[in-house]
Structure 1
Amino acid sequence: MSGRISDSTVRRLSLYLRMLRDLERAGVEVVSSSQLAEPSGATSAQVRKDLSHFGSFGKRGRGYSVERLVGALQEILGLTHSWRLALVGVGKIGSALLGYGGLAARGFDVVAAFDVDEAKIGTHSFGLTIRPMPELRHVISELGVDIGVVATPTDVASEIAAELARAGVGAILNFAPIELAEVNGVPIRTVDIVLELEGLSYLLSEVGRRVASGAGA
């Protein structure tokens, strides 16, 4: 592998893998770079460049073996074994994550959930007992948690992320609408729904501006 791989490349690899799994279920055995490119918004050259960071997987003029490329991308993305997750914040977003069966199907197993609400602590949600925050470090160590998930209000998200990092998780996924700094070198990825919606708002507005500009020409 050559150098550090960009986040945008990793995201495209995930998209390629999703498409390849669909093709595999449909019985397709060979796929071309152009077929992978179109649904992902990339170009065939970009697909070839993304894959070339990790080796040679296809033959010129013949395309890629779907089965082989699925296996290779699963290995590259670290999906050949399960990752253990601990969720902090069992509100609406947290509860939705606990109830989403697609996580386990992709190798991400939520093994612990925490909250500060006394009314929730000790109750059960999708097979997990909601635990109090003072148990965080012990449980993460005992269960070998790999990834911490922050689904808390913004004002405590930074504190929770720091606590997760100190507890020993290797990475953090943040759903609070705030950018969080790395703690002890633990990488943090933020999923900001509002930012994504604002991006879509821009695209819709741009279409409207183009239509208005064309009408006035």
Structure 2
Amino acid sequence: MGLSPTTVSRLPVYLRELELLSQAGVETISSTGLAEVVGVTPSQLRKDLSHLGSYGTRGVGYHIAGLQAQIGRELGTARGWPVVIIGVGNLGRALAGYAGFSSRGFRIAALVDPDPAVIGTVVHGVEVSDLAELEAVITRTKATIAVLATPPAAAQSVVDRVVHQGVTSILTFAATVLAVPDGVIVRKVDLGQELQILAYYEQRKSEEVVR
């Protein structure tokens, strides 16, 4: 049986904090200490990690290097997943240059765009391919993860093409609802929506001050 979606969503957070602790020279940490920096309860952390077969050592806690490797294996970050980014505007360029991808087990295998002025240019070491050649690019790179940084109107047609080519995991920044077949996972990042949520809390704080 696989891990629950909520547990899976917390594993990258655990891994990020463990990386920071390792960089700081920390070798072991208690469940209470790790839970505190992550922002969960110690019981929740112990439960999550027990699903991986990691229970720590009484009186010592968790060995950080070992736990990093264990979570990394569970998340598949040691595989160097090939990723294709579709849309090489300002957002696509920023994503292509994000150093966090490589450190977390992802490799930008291809950049794709329909703009003749962009096609053939090199962005962060990767040559931009023509959107017309998308299927060939996916076949060549064996990418199973696609990142969409396209305008909303173009997103669905692009998704249809990558799914038909065998891509089963999609991260989209396009502010639109995408239809995909069963078995294809879509994760949506809506920056405008996240800012609206922050604005809601800012407004609540302002109202509290007025009261």
Q: Is the shorter-chain TM-score for this pair beyond 0.5, marking a shared fold?
A: yes
Counterpart contact for 1:88–1:150, Cα < 8 Å:
yes
The reply on whether 1:37 has 2:35 as its aligned counterpart is: yes
Deviation at 1:61, TM superposition (A): 4.3
- Aligned with residue 130 of structure 1, among 112, 119, 128: 128
Counterpart contact for 1:74–1:80, Cα < 8 Å:
yes
Give 1:70's aligned residue.
68
Find the residue that maps to 1:59 and give its secondary structure. Answer: coil
The reply on whether 1:13 has 2:11 as its aligned counterpart is: yes
Deviation at 1:109, TM superposition (A): 0.9
Give 1:86's aligned residue.
84
Find the residue that maps to 1:149 and give its secondary structure. Answer: strand
- Aligned with residue 157 of structure 2, among 156, 159, 165: 159
Amino acid in structure 2 at the alignment position of 1:11: S
The reply on whether 1:142 has 2:140 as its aligned counterpart is: yes
Deviations 1:161-217 (CA, angstroms, capped at 9, x unpaired): 12111112231110112232333521111111112112211222222233333xxxx
Give 2:114's aligned residue.
116
Q: Over the residues paired in the alignment, what is the CA RMSD in angstroms?
A: 1.7
- TM-score with structure 1 setting the length: 0.89
How do 1:164-203 and structure 2 match up within 5 A?
Answer: 164-183=162-181, 185-203=183-201
- Aligned with residue 107 of structure 1, among 100, 105, 108: 105
Q: In structure 2, what is the Cα distance between the partners aligned to 1:177 and 1:48?
A: 37
Amino acid in structure 1 at the alignment position of 2:192: V
Give the direction of change, closer, same or farther, for the CA distance of 1:13–1:177 in structure 2 (3 Å limit): same
Deviations 1:71-127 (CA, angstroms, capped at 9, x unpaired): 111011111220001111101100111122221232211111111112212222222
Find the residue that maps to 1:121 and give its secondary structure. Answer: coil
Moved more, 12-21 or 98-107: 98-107
Moved more, 97-106 or 85-94: 97-106
